[in-house]
Amino acid sequence: MCGIAGWVSLNGSDEAVLLRMTAAMAHRGPDAEGFHFSADRRVALGHRRLSIIDLASGAQPMANEDGSVWVTYNGEIYNFAELREDLLRRGHRFATRSDTEVILHAYEQYGSRCVEMFNGMFAFALWDGNAQRLFLARDRFGKKPLHYTLADGAFLFGSEIKALLAHPAVRRNLDPDALAAYLAHEYVPCPLTIFRGIRKLPPAHWMTYEPQTGRTVIERYWTFPLAPDPNLGEQEAAEMLLSELRGAVKRRLVSEVPLGVFLSGGIDSSGVAALMAETVPVGKLKTFNIAFTEKSYDESSYARRVAALLGSEHHEEVFSAGQMLGVLPDVIGFLDEPFADPSLLPTYMLSRFTRKHVTVALGGDGGDELFAGYPSFVASRYAHWFEQAPAPLRAMVEAVARRLPVSARNFSLDFVVRQFLKGVPYPEPLRTQVWLGAFGPSELQQLLPGQVADPFAEFRRQTDGFAQSPDELVNRLTAHYTETYMTDDILVKVDRASMACSLEVRAPLLDVRVAELAGRLPARLKLRGRQTKWLLKRALAGKLPHDILHRPKKGFGIPITQWLREDLAPLAREHLAADKLRREGLFDANFVQMLLDEHQRGARNHRKPLWTLLVFELWAARHLW
């Protein structure tokens, strides 16, 4: 992986500034750096390299034969060898074995349509000197980030926001709409960023900028293909899926540096590891897992069992709550914007641990979204039934829920039931967002009484016609999760945590061919009764034991509820103090104090809103104020 940055400006360019921009992302590419300036000094491209393929001759920025086209690129194009052969047949000449050069020649041959041919994870900026145009593109799911802004007549771009902030023309002004969206989602959704004027290029989009006119164009080149085939049989589909998964894993094993796999013991990562074991020589498969001393959050026994079955060289490290809290300052330090998914902490620790042994790791991201793996898919069906239940029965359930004792255990009954009831009054997909997020619509009004923009507006617009039947609801929700939560939460988490450790993570389940097959699956092959990921489990039935395939989903959680009452209580009281919040003028201090008091007394479990607020305050103290 790499970090890219640069700009196009009619006012020339400052080499020292570009050096600062790329240096801000040295963690993304510790192996080398490179720069290109056009003859008139108006175009600047910078690059930080983490060497994975073509170690000797893959340096960037890279140009075509006559120097008319230059590119700086972050990612991996897994089908680059096939594309290279096609381009050779069409008369293109190559000086390297790198996928970077394939991007250059594919652009020369196909223009903006080149991105449609790439199977991989990527973000790149390409300067077309003949057309006097900057061309930016991002992969279909947004595995690799790309940010941009206009400042003092310059168009700037970078893999991370911190690269843009290294430019003297870019200001750190809080975007209040982005703040409201963060509080609703626990992350800042694309295309917003927490800073006014800085934006993310959406996944599956390309963008052009022409400095002479200042004209920008943004176009989508791919949409998740939700086209269920009702005639697709289970046996046929399982065989097709297993074949595509094998191909996806094999494509991601191309590397000239040590490679391993994250292994949690869940079906996604275990399936990836099992398919890797088919290709990797016996005794050479390396698996990585972290264990927690808090047993309700620990899955290490499952990971050890799968590793033993596969005969992998298994690496495990046990972490305590104190150790996890110890990395919190480091995590806040590398975050460009507030991000309140608590699993960022263990993901960072797993990445840091894994990087001691390998440079590339495969992971299981994407399985829950593509194959309906989250408990909320089942909960959506329960919510429909609950809405139809007699009023006295609903009132009785709500009364019982209020009396449930508050527990700090992972997925405790009181938390699950109360979170379920919190979302029930809303239609889909707003209901799912309320389940996933920190603050629902009514809570956000109390927290931000002066807020004008509605961060839930897009969910409200999607309500009409979102789903006409339970099966259609499952299919629509898989697309919804894929285009929102996975893109802006899961993949951001993995990218930031892994790249902070200079580790590349690859996601076979998000191979475009796997995703397009998933889009063809009817709902009955994704969710059957309460059984999630039906077809994925069917496809892997010959690779993993029954109890691994069918064990309940636990997730990569940490004991935030308990921390906010104990270890983190002093920090929470300090950063969420009423007088401090009143000075800042962003949040209703009385409402926050009520949340904090109820949680720390054990009267209610407010871990999601409190953690979201605390992360923002810690982040703002480091990056904003």
| Residues designated catalytic | 2
- DSSP per-residue letters across 306-368: HHHHHT-EEEEEEE-HHHHHHTHHHHHHH-SS----TTHHHHHHHHHHHHTT-SEEE--TTHH
Task: With beta carbons less than 8 A apart as the criterion, state whether 552 and 378 touch.
Answer: no
Beta strand pairing call for 259-262 and 32-37:
unpaired
Residue linked to tokens 């590349």:
504
Dihedrals phi, psi of 596, to nearest 5 degrees: -65, -45
Residues contacting residue 206 through CB under 8 Å, at least 6 positions apart: 112, 115, 135, 136, 137, 138, 218, 219, 221
Nearest partner of 407 among 320, 325, 296, judged by Cα? 296
Task: With beta carbons less than 8 A apart as the criterion, state whether 314 and 263 touch.
Answer: yes
Nearest partner of 4 among 91, 75, 106, 72, judged by Cα? 72
Helix (H) or strand (E) segment spanning residue 419: helix 413-423
Helix (H) or strand (E) segment spanning residue 72: strand 69-77
Beta strand pairing call for 360-362 and 199-200:
unpaired
Q: What is the distance in angstroms between the CA of the first residue and the CA of the last residue of the chain? A: 31
Q: Output the six-digit token pair for 485.
A: 């939560």
- DSSP per-residue letters across 107-152: HHHHGGGGGGG--EEEEEEEEETTTTEEEEEE-TT--S--EEEEET
* Tally of CB atoms within 10 A around 36: 20
